Structure 1
Amino acid sequence: MSRLQFEFGCRGLTLAGSLDTAPGVTGLLIVNGGNEIRSGAFSGQSQLAARVAKKGFPVFRFDRRGTGDSEGENRGFRKTTDDIRAAHESFRAVAPQLDRVFAFGNCDAASALMLQSGAGFDGLILSNPWTIEEGSSEIVPQHSAKAIRSRYAAKLKDPKEILRLLKGGVNFRKLTRGVVASLRSTPEPSGLAEDMRRGLEGFAGKVHFVLAGNDRTAQLFESTWDKNDPRIRRCEGAGHSYVEPEHREWLENQILAALRS
């Protein structure tokens, strides 16, 4: 197994790609979201690719137009159809043994795959899909309301924290913000969420949802979706990027299970 760096074309522009080689006939293509580059935050996607490839599955990553080492302008996740299609074609060209290709996307990368009705892949692994419309007044806090409530409940059970409160050692402005955040109601489903739902209805391949339990983006997505959908898997306590070792391992295991399905 090795890692190859190369370039491929998209609408007359040059995009950068990376391939972690492996002999398997099922491959994984990682779609980056937002302004994220193909290595991921703190090289998270690069490390994930190496671990999955060691299990026998080739992994392809790429920089969308306007991100990382790729040319062009980043026009947002709604306009990534050509980027994803070009990456998919390039992956199959450099790994001709592939019978199936699954796509993994986190946040708005998952949304893009849903909007594109699976973008021609054989399976989708959709993590914390983004459902907030551009220009919406909805603010996504760092922690979910559930996580905030749990944190303050734990503090109220700690005698040291109660003593701090009585001695005036608590920032009441911060406390008020936390209480307000814990009571924040869930917004109505957006038009984006409905577009994503309709897009996915046109996909005949395998679908796997993975949701981080402490991520507000995942919470908002779940509020628009059937919570009893058997395709959903939840990682309790995980944040948006699965940064803790046990959460990274959980995500890797979910991806491997999908690839083996």
Structure 2
Amino acid sequence: MRQHFTFDCAGDTLTATLDGADSTTGLLIVSGGNEIRSGAHAGMAALAAAIAAAGHPVMRYDRRGIGDSTGENAGFESTSDDIAAAVQAMRTRVPSLARLVAFGNCDAASALALYGPAAGIDALVLANMWTLESESDEPDEAEAAATMTAGAIRSRYLAKLKNPRELWRLASGGVDIGKLVRGLRQAAAKTEVTGLAAKLGQALAEMPVPAKLLVAEHDRTAMWFLEHWDSAPFAAARANAGITMARLDSGSHSFASAGDKAWLRERILEALT
């Protein structure tokens, strides 16, 4: 049964939706970007219904300044109070709840990595984690798409070197040497881990609860996350035995296709059981 209700967060009123079910293990969905709790094309509402049909209660909510909730939208890095209030609201609304798993995509995954364990969440499912600095308070997917990771550049040049036509262009002077040199420098560059990425690396290294990382391998945001994940500063995070990773051969940031949705649902159900 689907219920709508409100709860308090630092003097503001947040609006939530609960899909009820009998299991004592529940799911909290945290929306990414400026999306309302139903998600893009009602994707999170459909996901909640599917997880509830499998037996687990699911709560979604609009953070401050989004959708039906009051207050100021100050960006995902300012949502520690929202997450903590949502956890308390769900435990109050579902008193039989013994274990709470939280799911977030993009910057919601980053917010959960930073603030989830302290809020009382027992396990995390973090998809396509946002690791880039942005001039605004919100992640800019266009910004991620416009910049290639060093790994992507290396893959591109390796493919060119395997192509006889590209080798002929190089030998015959059909390649801009200056552009080639700049590209090779970018390909050889080490990934810088500063700012948000550094905070996330530390949070994952010290993560005290199980965390499942989900990656749509061809999504540019996910590619940037993997670039940071494979870097030396993330070595401690990679060594954390409580962290696992599942990769999907997809470029859909929001798991839009039917197959992607099914894959995401199964990974979340794995974390709930």
1:28-43 equivalences under 5 Å are: 28-43=27-42
State how far apart, in whole Å, the 2-side matches of 1:142 and 1:6 are: 40
Q: Is the 8 A contact 2:218 2:252 kept in 1?
A: yes
The equivalent residue for 1:88 is 87
1:157-168 equivalences under 5 Å are: none
- Alignment CA distance shift 1:144-1:102 (3 Å): farther
Q: CA deviation at 1:14?
A: 0.8
1:162-241 equivalences under 5 Å are: 185=187, 187-226=191-230, 229=238, 231-241=244-254
Q: CA deviation at 1:226?
A: 3.9
Output the amino acid matched with 1:254.
R
1:81-120 equivalences under 5 Å are: 81-116=80-115, 118=117, 119-120=119-120
State how far apart, in whole Å, the 1-side matches of 2:115 and 2:72 are: 20
User: For 1:9-63, what per-residue CA distance to the aligned partner results, in whole angstroms no more than 9, with x for missing partners?
Assistant: 1111111000000000100000112211000000000000000000011000000
Output the amino acid matched with 2:60.
R
State how far apart, in whole Å, the 2-side matches of 1:240 and 1:234 are: 12
Q: CA deviation at 1:184?
A: 7.0
- Alignment CA distance shift 1:117-1:197 (3 Å): farther
The equivalent residue for 1:255 is 268
The equivalent residue for 1:128 is 128
Listed as ranges, the gaps of 5+ residues in structure 1 are: 158-179
TM-score, normalised with respect to structure 1: 0.80
SS of the equivalent of 1:37 reads: coil
State how far apart, in whole Å, the 1-side matches of 2:121 and 2:44 are: 19
Q: Is the 8 A contact 1:211 1:218 kept in 2?
A: yes
State how far apart, in whole Å, the 2-side matches of 1:64 and 1:210 are: 23
Q: CA deviation at 1:144?
A: 7.2
The total of aligned residue pairs comes to 230
Q: Is the 8 A contact 1:8 1:90 kept in 2?
A: yes
User: For 1:181-222, what per-residue CA distance to the aligned partner results, in whole angstroms no more than 9, with x for missing partners?
Assistant: 9x9758522321110121233332111000112211111011
Q: Is the 8 A contact 1:144 1:214 kept in 2?
A: no
1:5-44 equivalences under 5 Å are: 5-44=4-43
Listed as ranges, the gaps of 5+ residues in structure 2 are: 164-181
SS of the equivalent of 2:95 reads: coil
Output the amino acid matched with 1:199.
A
Q: Is the 8 A contact 2:83 2:115 kept in 1?
A: no
Residues 1:72 and 2:80 aligned together: no
Q: RMSD of aligned C-alpha atoms?
A: 2.8
User: For 1:206-254, what per-residue CA distance to the aligned partner results, in whole angstroms no more than 9, with x for missing partners?
Assistant: 1100011221111101111149957110110241000000000000000
State how far apart, in whole Å, the 1-side matches of 2:147 and 2:269 are: 28
Output the amino acid matched with 2:258.
P
- Alignment CA distance shift 1:25-1:131 (3 Å): same
The equivalent residue for 2:174 is none
Fraction of identical pairs, as percent: 44
SS of the equivalent of 2:65 reads: coil
State how far apart, in whole Å, the 2-side matches of 1:69 and 1:90 are: 16
The equivalent residue for 1:141 is 145
State how far apart, in whole Å, the 1-side matches of 2:192 and 2:147 are: 20
- Alignment CA distance shift 1:213-1:239 (3 Å): same
- Compare the two structures and name the one with the higher helix fraction: 2
